[in-house]
C-alpha cells in the first residue's frame, strides 16, 4: 500500500469507530521514503507533506499514461498542457511556478538550465518504479529550485530470480505503446534493463482558427526510451552501482507563421555511478557522480533552427551517521551547469558548491528534524537556507507536526543571458514556508489535514517594456496559502484515495491569482478486485482559473471522469483498458490550446508473478 498521508479527517471518526487499531499492523503497511530527509525513514515519521506513487499504481495507469497523468492525481498539484503528447506543459505544486519544482532521478538533478524545468512530456513513465513527492520548500536539503517542492523519480531495479516482462497497447489517435525488460539478481549482483517505444498521431495543438499560429494539421509525437541499472555487493555493507535513464523523441507543435511545419526533437538523459560503504557500524558514506542533459532542436518545415543543450555534471558525497539519538547527515556537492548550441548566451557556464548538515530523530512521543545548507554560486554568490520541523504523537492514531523553512531559486540562463533580453543583474528568488499538519493513521487508513503559507520574494517575471519587448526583472511577490485535506486507504474491498485543495496562490503586488491556478481542486479515486478482474474510476475537478496576469481572461472550471480495468487471463498474462474523459468534457487549460476529449486505450501485459 502506498502512502499519500492525506485525509477526509472530518469523516474518519464515524467511518473507523469499529476498526481494530493495531500499531503493529500499521508498521507492516508503512512505507520507507528517502526524499524527505535524504535518508531512509518511515513515512509515518516524516515531518513534511509527502506523497508516494508506488509500482502498483504506475502499472495500473497503463503504458499510454504519462508522468503528468500520475502527478495530476496527487494532492496539491495542478497540470496544464499546450496540446497533446510531448508539447509544452507545466506543473504547479501548491500554486508555485513550474520552475519551482526540483526533479531528481535516482538522487541526481534532471532539468533544463535554460528554462528551469525538464521537458515533462519526455520523462518516460515506463522506466519508473516509484515516485516520491515533497510539497513545500526543500532548499535546505536540495538547494536551488526546490521552492515549491521536490519530485524524485526512482528507476526500476533488479532483485531475485531472472524475470522478463512485456506489454503493448493501442488507442485513440493511432496511439501505440510497447515496452519490455528484464531484471534479477544473483551472487551479489543486481541488474535491470528496460526498453520502450511510444507514438501517436495526436491532434492539433491549437484549436482557435483566429490564432496567428493555428494550423489544423495533427501534431504527432514519438519517443523511444530505455533505462538500466547494475549493482554489486562485494561484502556486507558495501555496494558499487550505476544506473541510467535515456529518452529521445520528437513532437510537432503549432507556431507562427501558421503555414509552417514546426517540429521539436528532444533528448533527455541522466546517468550516475556510486559507491556506498558502511565504514563503521554507525557511519555510512556514499559517493555519487552523475550527469544529466536536456537537448532541444527546433525544425521549421524540415530545416534545423534553434538548438539548445543544457548539461549538469554532479558530484555528491553524503555521510549518514547514527547518533545516540537520531541520525545525522553531512554532505558536500559540486554541480557544473552549462548551455551550448547555436543560441549565443553571454555566459554559458556556472558552478555551485554546496555544504549540508542535517539531523532527524525521535525521543518518546516527540519527533524533530533540522537541516542547514550553504550554496555558493559562481554567478550570484552565496545563499544559506534552513529548515526546522517538530512532530508530536498525540495518541496511538493521531499525530501533529509543524515546520518552518527557507528556500531560494537561482535565475536560469534564459533569465540572465537570453540574447537581447536577459538581465544579468537578477537576484535569486527567495521564500519562507510555514506549515502545520494533523495526521490520522490506523491499519489501512492514512489521513491528514495540512495548512501552509509560502511567501516568495523577488519573483522573476518576464514582462513587456514600453516598446513591447519582453524582459525579466525581480518585480513580483507571491503568497501561496492553502489547506490540503486528503485520504488514502481501504474500506471493505475498495481502495480509495481522495483530496481537496483550497488554495490562494496570489500575486500580492497586483492582488490577483497567479495564472492557470485554481482556488479549488478536488480528486477522487476508487478501485476494487473481483477475482481476476480489477476495475477503477478517477475524478478530477478544478475551479476556475485565469489565462492572464491581470485576471481578465477567465478559464472555466471543469470535472473529468476516467475509468480503468484489467483482467488476468492467466497467472502471468493480463488484459487492460483505460477510458479517459468518459463524458467527452470540453474544457480549457490554456487559452487557444486543445485538450483531449474522450479517448481509449487497450493492451496486453506479460508480468511473471
For 603, counting Cβ atoms within 10 Å of its Cβ (0-12 exposed, 13-18 middle, 19+ buried), the class is: buried
Cα distance between residue 530 and residue 541, in whole Å: 28
φ, ψ for residue 86, nearest 5 deg: 85, -20
Confidence of residue 471 (pLDDT cuts 50, 70, 90): confident
Indicate if the pLDDT at residue 28 is higher than 60: no
Matching residue, cell 550553504: 374
Comparing CA positions, the residue from 130, 190, 193 lying closest to residue 165 is 193
52-80 confidence digits (pLDDT tens) = 999 989 988 877 889 999 999 999 999 99
Q: How confident is the model over 323-328, as a mean pLDDT?
A: 96
Cα distance between residue 194 and residue 155, in whole Å: 10
133-143 confidence digits (pLDDT tens) = 999 999 999 99
Confidence of residue 332 (pLDDT cuts 50, 70, 90): very high
What is the grid cell recorded at 344?
549565443
Indicate if the pLDDT at residue 433 is higher than 50: yes
Quote the mean pLDDT of the chain.
Answer: 91
Cα distance between residue 51 and residue 71, in whole Å: 10
Q: Which helix (H) or strand (E) is 415 found in, with range?
A: helix 413-417
Give the pLDDT score at 502: 98
Return the domain boundaries, the chain: 9-606
User: With pLDDT > 90 as the criterion, what percentage of the chain qualifies?
Assistant: 84
Comparing CA positions, the residue from 554, 552, 579 lying closest to residue 565 is 579
Q: Which helix (H) or strand (E) is 520 found in, with range?
A: strand 520-530
Alpha helices by DSSP H, 293-359: none
Q: In what order do the strands lie in the sheet with 108-109?
A: 49-53, 128-135, 149-155, 101-105, 108-109
The CA distances from residue 18 to 12, 30, 493, in Å, are 11, 21, 16
580-591 confidence digits (pLDDT tens) = 999 999 999 999
90-135 confidence digits (pLDDT tens) = 999 999 999 999 999 999 999 999 999 999 999 999 899 999 999 9
How many Cβ atoms sit within 10 Å of the Cβ of residue 18? 5
Helix (H, G, I), strand (E, B) or coil at 290: strand
Cα distance between residue 540 and residue 558, in whole Å: 8
Per the CB < 8 A criterion, the answer to whether 495 and 526 are in contact is yes
User: With pLDDT > 70 as the criterion, what percentage of the chain qualifies?
Assistant: 94
Cα distance between residue 193 and residue 367, in whole Å: 40
179 pairs with which residues across the strands? Answer: 167, 196
Cα distance between residue 93 and residue 342, in whole Å: 33
Indicate if the pLDDT at residue 1 is higher than 90: no
Which letter does DSSP use for residue 420 in this model? T
Give the pLDDT score at 18: 32
Positive or negative torsion for Cα 130, 135, 138, 144: positive
Cα distance between residue 186 and residue 198, in whole Å: 32
Confidence of residue 455 (pLDDT cuts 50, 70, 90): very high
Q: Count CA atoms closer than 13 A to 45's CA, side-chain side.
A: 21
Confidence of residue 258 (pLDDT cuts 50, 70, 90): low
Cis previous bond, 164, omega within 30: no
Who contacts 334 (Cβ-Cβ below 8 Å, separation ≥6)?
Answer: 314, 315, 351, 352, 353, 354
Give the pLDDT score at 22: 32
How many Cβ atoms sit within 10 Å of the Cβ of residue 299? 17
Indicate if the pLDDT at residue 8 is higher than 60: no
Indicate if the pLDDT at residue 413 is higher than 60: yes
| This prediction's pTM | 0.92
488-543 confidence digits (pLDDT tens) = 999 999 999 999 999 999 999 899 999 999 999 999 999 999 999 999 999 999 99
Indicate if the pLDDT at residue 9 is higher than 50: no
Matching residue, cell 525579466: 472
Indicate if the pLDDT at residue 12 is higher than 70: no
Cα distance between residue 437 and residue 279, in whole Å: 37
Q: How confident is the model over 441-469, as a mean pLDDT?
A: 88
Q: How confident is the model over 548-558, as a mean pLDDT?
A: 94
Q: How much of the chain is in helix, strand and coil states, percent to nearest 5?
A: 10, 60, 35
How many Cβ atoms sit within 10 Å of the Cβ of residue 469? 9
Give the pLDDT score at 259: 65
Confidence of residue 10 (pLDDT cuts 50, 70, 90): very low
Name the CATH topology of 9-606. Answer: Maltoporin; Chain A (2.40.170)
Per the CB < 8 A criterion, the answer to whether 585 and 569 are in contact is no
Interior angle at CA 580, CA 575 and CA 583, nearest 5: 130
DSSP for 472-496, please give it.
EEEEEEEEEEEEEEEEEEEETTEEE
Amino acid at each position: 500500500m502506498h502512502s499519500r498521508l492525506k485525509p477526509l479527517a472530518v469523516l474518519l471518526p464515524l467511518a473507523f469507530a469499529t476498526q481494530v487499531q493495531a500499531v503493529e499492523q500499521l508498521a507492516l503497511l508503512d512505507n520507507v521514503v528517502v526524499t524527505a530527509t535524504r535518508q531512509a525513514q518511515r513515512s509515518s515519521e516524516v515531518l513534511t507533506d509527502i506523497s508516494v506513487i508506488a509500482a502498483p499504481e504506475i502499472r495500473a495507469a497503463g503504458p499510454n499514461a504519462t508522468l503528468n497523468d500520475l502527478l495530476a492525481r496527487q494532492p496539491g498539484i495542478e497540470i496544464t498542457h499546450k496540446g497533446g503528447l510531448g508539447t509544452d506543459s507545466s506543473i504547479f505544486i501548491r500554486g508555485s511556478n513550474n520552475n519551482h519544482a526540483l526533479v531528481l532521478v535516482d538522487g541526481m538533478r534532471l532539468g533544463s538550465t535554460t528554462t528551469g524545468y525538464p521537458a515533462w512530456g519526455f520523462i518516460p513513465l515506463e522506466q519508473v518504479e516509484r515516485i516520491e513527492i515533497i510539497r513545500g520548500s526543500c532548499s535546505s536539503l536540495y538547494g536551488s529550485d526546490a521552492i515549491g517542492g521536490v519530485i524524485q523519480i526512482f528507476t526500476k531495479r533488479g532483485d531475485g530470480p531472472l524475470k522478463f516482462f512485456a506489454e503493448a497497447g493501442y488507442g485513440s489517435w493511432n496511439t501505440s505503446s510497447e515496452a519490455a525488460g528484464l531484471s534479477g539478481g544473483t551472487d551479489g549482483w543486481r541488474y535491470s534493463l528496460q526498453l520502450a517505444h511510444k507514438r501517436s498521431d495526436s491532434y492539433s495543438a491549437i484549436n482557435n482558427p483566429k490564432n496567428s499560429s493555428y494550423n489544423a494539421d495533427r501534431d504527432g509525437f514519438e519517443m523511444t526510451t530505455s533505462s538500466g541499472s547494475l549493482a554489486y555487493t562485494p561484502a556486507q555493507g558495501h555496494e558499487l552501482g550505476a544506473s541510467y535513464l535515456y529518452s529521445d523523441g520528437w513532437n510537432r507543435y503549432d507556431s507562427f507563421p501558421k503555414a509552417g511545419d514546426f517540429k521539436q526533437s528532444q533528448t533527455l538523459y541522466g546517468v550516475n555511478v556510486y559507491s556506498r560503504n558502511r565504514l563503521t557500524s554507525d557511519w555510512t558514506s556514499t559517493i555519487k557522480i552523475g550527469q544529466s542533459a536536456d537537448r532541444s532542436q527546433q525544425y521549421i518545415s524540415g530545416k534545423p533552427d534553434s538548438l539548445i543543450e543544457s548539461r549538469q555534471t554532479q558530484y555528491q558525497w553524503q555521510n549518514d551517521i547514527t547518533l545516540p539519538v537520531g541520525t545525522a547527515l553531512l554532505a558536500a556537492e559540486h554541480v557544473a551547469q552549462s548551455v551550448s548550441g547555436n543560441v549565443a548566451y553571454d555566459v554559458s557556464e556556472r558552478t555551485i558548491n554546496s555544504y549540508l548538515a542535517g539531523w532527524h530523530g525521535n525521543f518518546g512521543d516527540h519527533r524533530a528534524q533540522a537541516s542547514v545548507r550553504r550554496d555558493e554560486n559562481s554567478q550570484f554568490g552565496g545563499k544559506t537556507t534552513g529548515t526546522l520541523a517538530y512532530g508530536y504523537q498525540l495518541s496511538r492514531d493521531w499525530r501533529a507536526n509543524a515546520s518552518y523553512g527557507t528556500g531560494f531559486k537561482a535565475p536560469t540562463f534564459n533569465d540572465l543571458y537570453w540574447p537581447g533580453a536577459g538581465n544579468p543583474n537578477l537576484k535569486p528568488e527567495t521564500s519562507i514556508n510555514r506549515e502545520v499538519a494533523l495526521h490520522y493513521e490506523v491499519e489501512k487508513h492514512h489521513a491528514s489535514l495540512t495548512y501552509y503559507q509560502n511567501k516568495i520574494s523577488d519573483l522573476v517575471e518576464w514582462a513587456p517594456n514600453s516598446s513591447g519587448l519582453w524582459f525579466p526583472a525581480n518585480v513580483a511577490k507571491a503568497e501561496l496559502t492553502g489547506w490540503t485535506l486528503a485520504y488514502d486507504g481501504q474500506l471493505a474491498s475498495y481502495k480509495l484515495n481522495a483530496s481537496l485543495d483550497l488554495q490562494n496562490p496570489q500575486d500580492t503586488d497586483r492582488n490577483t491569482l497567479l495564472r492557470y491556478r485554481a482556488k479549488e481542486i478536488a480528486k477522487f479515486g476508487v478501485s476494487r478486485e473481483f477475482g481476476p478482474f480489477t476495475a477503477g474510476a478517477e475524478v478530477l475537478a478544478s475551479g476556475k482559473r485565469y489565462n492572464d496576469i491581470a485576471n481578465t481572461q477567465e478559464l472555466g472550471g471543469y470535472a473529468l471522469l476516467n475509468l480503468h480495468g484489467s483482467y488476468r487471463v492467466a497467472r502471468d498474462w493480463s488484459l487492460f483498458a483505460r477510458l479517459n474523459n468518459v463524458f467527452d468534457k470540453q474544457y480549457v487549460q490554456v487559452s487557444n490550446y486543445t485538450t483531449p476529449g474522450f479517448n481509449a486505450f487497450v493492451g496486453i501485459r506479460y508480468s511473471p508473478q
